Amino acid sequence: MARKLSTRKRPERSEHMLKEQLKIEEGIFDRRTMMSLWKMFNHNIITKMDYLISTGKEADVYLADGGSQINFDFVALKIFRIETSDFGKRIDYIRGDPRFEKVKKDTLSIVTTWCKKEYGNLKVAELAEIHAPRPYYCNGNVLAMEFLGDSNGAPAKRLKDVVVDNPKEVLDTILEDLRKLYELELVHADISEYNILMWNGLPYLIDFGQAVVTKHPRAMDFLERDAANILEYFSRKYGVVMEHEEAMHRIMQKKD
């Protein structure tokens, strides 16, 4: 009697490799995060996770190898923490944004909305053609985006950790990028020397999760704070002085 063959699909070798690698990460990633990473792999966004390149209060960033859908060797994976996060303090950046009016207040909903929000804001930044990482894919609490760094996988350094040779030009570039964002009705809302990377001699804005549309009730407050923060930094570190009113005028000025 012939033996009946199993109809169960065998896992592909590439899926098996990722499964084995993710075993190493057990205890670091929860089940929801693991499922999001699987989807990144199955959509050919990544082929392998490499190592941690940055840690923050609410998220960690990992270097990963790019898949066939990405035209670059590396991808930056921003993984927002779910169980240990304190996103309740960030609700002001969501409440009042017409894009996310019906968000539930439980931690999981806030975290996944924050991830989706950063992806959407990065799409606006890409449309504005400013210096910012390009977004590739978003699922659950994991965001895949352009890796800013060298060909060996070393990440770009934060503005606060370098000394630039042309501080006035760097400040001008930052203000111009904020203007381009504002022209597309978006305010970054967390500009500082910590949220800007220097790559190929140019400042790249990062951490767009808190960015709000100009219709947000606190958008102008956030814009005023962004300008004040970056002017204070360049004045303190480089002696580059600009009046707050001038910076605001440059940001809010429309150009043909």
- Supply the residues annotated as catalytic: 190, 207
Q: Cα(237)–Cα(184) distance, rounded to whole angstroms?
A: 31
| Cβ atoms of 64 and 75 closer than 8 Å | yes
Q: Cα(84)–Cα(177) distance, rounded to whole angstroms?
A: 33
- Please state the separation of Cα 159 from the chain's center in Å: 16
Q: How far is CA 214 from CA 111, 125, 149, 220, in A?
A: 22, 14, 31, 7
| Cβ atoms of 127 and 18 closer than 8 Å | no
Two tokens at 25? Answer: 């990460």
| Cβ atoms of 114 and 211 closer than 8 Å | no
| Cβ atoms of 35 and 18 closer than 8 Å | no
